[in-house]
Amino acid sequence: MLKDIAPKPASGYVARARKLRKEMTLPEVLLWRLLRGQPQGVKFRRQHPSSRIGMDFYCLDARLVIEVDGIAHDMGDNPERDLNRDAWLRSNGIDTVRIPATDVLKDVAAVADGIVRLALSRLPLHHPAIAGRSPSPRQARGGFEKEL
């Protein structure tokens, strides 16, 4: 597993994340049901706190945030705030994918499959989730990592 490069949460944001995990929206709940079992070996976190923001879903190894956006993200200053937030994450080495909540409600399986494929494409060369790729240098010389 890679080192977590996401900035550490500010004071009070871990408690906020725990509260948000209990109050997830329907599209988030549906998507989490498919992502929580580490599909194809890719691990996702839900409502992951970082600095002063929360991420709907976060794949640490792929450096990828998944945001499920409802109608509220199109109103007021939210679009500009989302752009600033995405730019801040990008400056910290983390990319963001925004998925409309309506897309999740229409076909959650297709959305989850697309997310997993994107995450797999972003994993480092020797990540255990990548089937068919060459073993890591440590595995090749008989290191301590488990065989795939």
For 15-62, the pLDDT digits (tens) are 665 566 567 889 999 999 999 988 888 999 888 766 667 788 999 889
How would you class 73 by CB atoms within 10 Å of its CB: exposed for 0-12, middle for 13-18, buried for 19 or more? middle
Name which of 53-57, 84-88, 89-93, 140-144 the model is least confident about: 140-144
pTM for the predicted model, two decimal places: 0.71
What span, in angstroms and rounded, lies between the C-alpha atoms of 108 and 103? 7
For the ranges 75-89, 115-129, 132-146, the one whose mean pLDDT is highest: 115-129
Q: How many CB atoms neighbour CB 6 within 10 A? A: 20
What does the pLDDT read at residue 53? Answer: 74
Q: Mind listing the domains of the chain with CATH numbers?
A: 13-140 (3.40.960.10)
